[in-house]
Amino acid sequence: MSDSSEHQDHCHSPETDKPQAHCGSESDQVPNMANQHAFFLVGDQHLFLVHMGNAWMDCHRYQMIMEISLPDHARQTWMEHRNRHPNDWYIVGNLETNKLQIPQFQLGTVRSFDASIWMGFPTTEGSEHWPWANEPTIVSNIKVKVERVVYYRRLDFSQDYPRTASYILFGKGKEAHLNHIPVKQPDFDHVLTLAEAPAWLPPELLEVSVPVNFPSVPAIPGGHSCHEALYQTEPVGPGREFVQYSGFGPGRQIDIAHTVFFGTYPFNSSKPGEPWRPCESE
């Protein structure tokens, strides 16, 4: 990923959506560029990575969740650091020397990769493709083992926004998390952790992940009459909420413990703190 103010997609031209020559692609072939990727790190007994996607670079137009394991020393160092910074979030990023394609995880051709762990948005100038390039690490140069891919999808810009705020519910054992389902620009990234796995969901379904939606929360704050509106604060947060399972049926209780991350960047091509333009009528 890149934090360049140019927001240049190095595999696609935003204006023409045609592959660029320097990608090495044939004119009729879509790009599949290897790059560095940022993943939110969540969990306690069971660790998961949630891909930090964006809609303006082709190689990051994926939503993906993986169960992973870390070396013992890395896990302990990260958890001790997190205990001292409970309101911050952490990312795992593959190293510049180990660039990857997201589809490789789904194919199972990547079972481990070299990575480091960082906290929060970088405060220093990064490289062209990696904003954390010059940022101090929490843990450096470790081997991350991929246990399994929990959820995988390519963004499809032909899809419309759902009527209500929709998320992927996933986890293992007593631990459960939510990841917002993004559609296209404008949209947002949102990762939350529940107080416990909901009793109404069988453990097997929690492990493979299921879609849930908040029936009282619109997917777009201005409603479907305004596709340019965008939540600037999280639409749901810590506390008791009710969701529908697979888009129908009764409201089912969940208890959200804390927000891991909410943001409109880097999913949208605007900097942190720069809101997406509102509807002209607003």
Say whether 10 sits in a helix, a strand or coil: coil
pLDDT band at 198 (very low <50, low <70, confident <90, very high): very high
More confident residue, 84 or 28: 84
C-alpha to C-alpha distances, 121 to 98, 179, 205, 280, nearest whole angstrom: 21, 19, 33, 31
- Which tens digits make up the pLDDT trace of 199-248? 999 999 999 999 999 999 999 987 666 656 789 999 999 999 999 999 99
Q: How confident is the model over 182-197, as a mean pLDDT?
A: 96
- Which tens digits make up the pLDDT trace of 155-168? 999 999 999 999 99
More confident residue, 46 or 1: 46
Q: How confident is the model over 51-66, as a mean pLDDT?
A: 95
233: left (phi over 0), alpha (psi -120 to 50) or beta: beta
pLDDT above 80: residue 3? no
**Spatial separation of the C-alpha atoms in residues 25 and 18, rounded to whole Å:** 10
pLDDT of residue 228: 65
pTM: 0.87
- Mean pLDDT, the chain, integer: 88
Give the lowest-confidence range in 28-32, 101-105, 115-119. Answer: 28-32
C-alpha to C-alpha distances, 54 to 2, 18, 41, nearest whole angstrom: 10, 18, 17
